[in-house]
Structure 1
Amino acid sequence: MGLALIAVAMLIGFGALATAIGFAMLGSQLLESSARQPEMAPMLQTKMFLVAGLLDAIPMIGVGIAMYILFVIVPGLA
């Protein structure tokens, strides 16, 4: 039971960490591209928001799996 709780914490924590790194890289590339070609900034920003939405889905899936482990699998172990 204890290992399942550690797995849940790691799943949520690593998902949040990876998303934070992804958002940082995405933002830095947007700023760099906008600085190089300012006339393309609106199109790049639109694409950035699309990718940010997809990137945000990853920790949500991780939270869903973590809740499944926490509320379905762990009570079954007891």
Structure 2
Amino acid sequence: MAGFILGILSIIILSFGLFLGIVGLVISLIAQKEIEKSMEQGGKLAKAGVILSIIGIVLQLFLTIIGIASLFLVTPG
């Protein structure tokens, strides 16, 4: 559940999104392994946490690249 929430927050919160995405991904992957071992419920929630965390990480990296590129593309006027 925590990985799922961190995955959502990594998409929404722009300032700490990359950090939250990485932590959410790690927690979700650990949860998936635990769920597979113990045969408990929650596998879909852990998978959703992985997917949302990856989306958040990719989105944050894309926005960071766009931000850095815009610094070099803007001409002082």
Give the TM-score, by structure 2 length: 0.48
Structure with bigger gyration radius: 1
TM (norm. structure 1) is 0.47
Q: Taking CA–CA contacts closer than 8 Å with sequence separation of 6 or more, which of the two structures ends up with the larger relative contact order?
A: 1
